[in-house]
Structure 1
Amino acid sequence: MELTFAGEIWFWRGPAPWHFVTVPDDESDAIETVASLITYGWGMVPVTVRIGGSEWTTSLWPKDGGYIVPIKAWVRAAEQLDVGDAVEVRLTVGA
């Protein structure tokens, strides 16, 4: 399954800081239809992500009935992104 959506980068301080983009409701619903077939536990869903010219593998994190995409530091540096920036995210689910 391939999905494309726009979102804003946000920061979670938590015990370990992370940057994320929230997957919109419609795309989260589509992911949920296949999640039970591909999750490896805790609701984590493996994906390949592309933002700009950067591509990497990671897992979607479940949050508030939907999913969030962790954005790695090297991606933010390579694409010159910061908190509040709007990005286009391309996901290949189950990668």
Structure 2
Amino acid sequence: MHVVFTGRVIEWRGPSPFCFAAVPDDQAADICEVAALATYGWGALPLDARIGETAFTTSLFPKDGSYLLRLKNAVRKPQGLSAGDEVTVTTTVRV
């Protein structure tokens, strides 16, 4: 399943800070339809993603009826992304 979305980069401050891109509700509803086929546990979904010229493998994590896409430093830094920025992501959920 291919999904393209534009979301805001958010920072989660836990024991280790992480950055995520929030999946908008419309795309999250589409992803939810295949989630049971793709999840590897706790509702997390494996996927391939691309931001600009940077391709990477990661997971979507369920959060409050939607999903968050983890953005590692190796992805954010080449794109100059930080909390509050909007980012367009092309994804393929691996079913």
Paired position in structure 1 for 2:75: 75
Match status 1:4 vs 2:10: no
| Structure 2 portions without partners, runs of 5+ | none
Aligned residues: 95
How many angstroms apart in 2 are the aligned matches of 1:31 and 1:74?
Answer: 25
| Structure 1 portions without partners, runs of 5+ | none
Amino acid at match of 1:20: F
How many angstroms apart in 1 are the aligned matches of 2:34 and 2:92?
Answer: 12
User: Deviating runs (4+, > 4 A) in structure 1?
Assistant: none
Paired position in structure 2 for 1:15: 15
Q: 5 Å matches for 1:1-95?
A: 1-94=1-94
Structure 1 length as normaliser, TM-score?
0.95
Q: 1:7 deviation in Å?
A: 1.1
Structure 2 length as normaliser, TM-score?
0.95
What percent of counterpart residues are identical?
A: 47
Q: 1:56 deviation in Å?
A: 0.5
RMSD value over aligned CA atoms? 1.0
How many angstroms apart in 1 are the aligned matches of 2:76 and 2:13?
Answer: 16
Q: 1:74 deviation in Å?
A: 0.9
